[in-house]
């Protein structure tokens, strides 16, 4: 009986080890000799397109990351600072000129509001001047706020 058990062990142990090795090695990328003769498939994503057109001078190609970065605006910088609001009071529809600094380039000024929940239409004139119109807002003393990507600044404004 002991001899039979020993014989089974000697037969099944190498088979089990061989199976375990095959399970571990095949997913690791080992190929069979028959597979080694087959040519590897080419990946299309890694190859450049054959008919790439050059962009006209001064124009970037559509998918160029460097071109997108070059054309993008830099909206981050110093926090905006309101220095003067003219007039500093008015009713709905009154045109207001806000002067200060660090309002950024066109498109970087994100919002002008007359208190929470009262956004106003505005026009970015330059880095130091913004014009806006008082919206239909609750009457009383409100905070006129200019918001950019770098922060915001507020000054009191009396809505009549």
C-alpha pair distances (Å), 66 with each of 59, 60, 77, 150? 12, 9, 21, 24
Q: What is the tens place of the pLDDT at every residue in 9-31? A: 555 556 666 665 556 555 555 55
Residue 60 located in a structural domain: no
Residue 136 located in a structural domain: yes
Residue 112 located in a structural domain: yes
What single DSSP character describes residue 64?
-
Instruction: Specify the number of domains making up the chain.
Output: 1
Residue 108 located in a structural domain: yes
Residue 155 located in a structural domain: yes
- To the question of pTM greater than 0.75 for the whole model, the response is no
Residue 94 located in a structural domain: yes
Angle at the Cα of 140 from the Cα atoms of 83 and 87, rounded to 5 degrees? 35
Give the structural domain span for 87. Answer: 81-159
Domain with 142 in it: what CATH number? 2.60.40.10
pLDDT higher at 60 or 155:
155
């Amino acid at each position: 009986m002991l001899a039979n058990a020993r014989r089974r062990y000697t037969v099944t142990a190498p088979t089990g080890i061989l199976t375990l090795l095959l399970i571990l090695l095949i997913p690791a990328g080992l190929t069979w000799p028959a597979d080694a003769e087959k040519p590897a498939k080419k990946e299309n994503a890694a190859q450049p397109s054959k008919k790439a057109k050059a962009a006209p001078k001064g124009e970037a190609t559509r998918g160029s990351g460097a071109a997108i970065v070059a054309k993008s605006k830099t909206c981050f910088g110093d926090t905006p600072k309101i220095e003067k609001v003219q007039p500093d009071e008015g009713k709905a529809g009154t045109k207001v000129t806000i002067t200060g600094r660090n309002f950024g380039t066109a498109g970087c000024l994100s919002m002008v509001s007359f208190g929470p929940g009262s956004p106003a239409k505005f026009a970015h004139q330059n880095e130091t001047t913004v014009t806006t119109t008082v919206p239909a807002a609750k009457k009383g003393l409100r905070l006129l706020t200019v918001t950019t990507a770098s922060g915001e600044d507020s000054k009191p404004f009396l809505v009549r």
